[in-house]
Amino acid sequence: MPKARTSAAAKRLLDVPNIGPAMVEDFRNLGIQQPRQLIGKDPHALYQSLCKVTGARHDPCVLDTFISAVRFMEGAPPHPWWHYTPERKATWPRL
């Protein structure tokens, strides 16, 4: 199934670019059920919460993917998750 090209078209978490079944489960572990719930969220706080909830440090690409999903739902064009790696590294260079 094709991914949404705009945030308005994302009706399910799986519609959001870069989000697959594993990331849907991560979002659900954080209480996020719908794409609109990502609007206004802090991707870094989501990542920290996920690590706490699961009791494990997740790969930094999870944070990159959280950034991409939040930015997309806030109106940014769809980008591959690695587009946001420099943003993550600027904030958390040792993650």
Q: What is the pLDDT of residue 50?
A: 98
Name 66's Cβ contacts closer than 8 Å, sequence gap at least 6. 43, 46, 47
Q: Is residue 3 part of a domain?
A: no
pTM: 0.94
Q: What is the pLDDT of residue 91?
A: 85
Instruction: For residues 29 and 54, give the distance between their C-alpha atoms in angstroms, rounded to a whole number.
Output: 8
Say if residue 93 is exposed, middle or buried (CB neighbours under 10 Å; 0-12, 13-18, 19+). Answer: exposed
Q: What is the pLDDT of residue 78?
A: 97
Domain range for 85: 13-91
Q: Is residue 8 part of a domain?
A: no
Q: Per the structure, how many domains does the chain have? A: 1
Instruction: Please give the angle made by the CA atoms of 80, 67 and 89, to the nearest 5 degrees.
Output: 90
Q: How many CB atoms lie within 10 A of CB 77?
A: 10
Residuewise pLDDT in 10s, the chain (95 residues): 789 999 999 999 999 999 999 999 999 999 999 999 999 999 999 999 999 999 999 999 999 999 999 999 999 999 999 999 999 999 876 66
Q: Is residue 74 part of a domain?
A: yes
Q: What is the pLDDT of residue 92?
A: 74
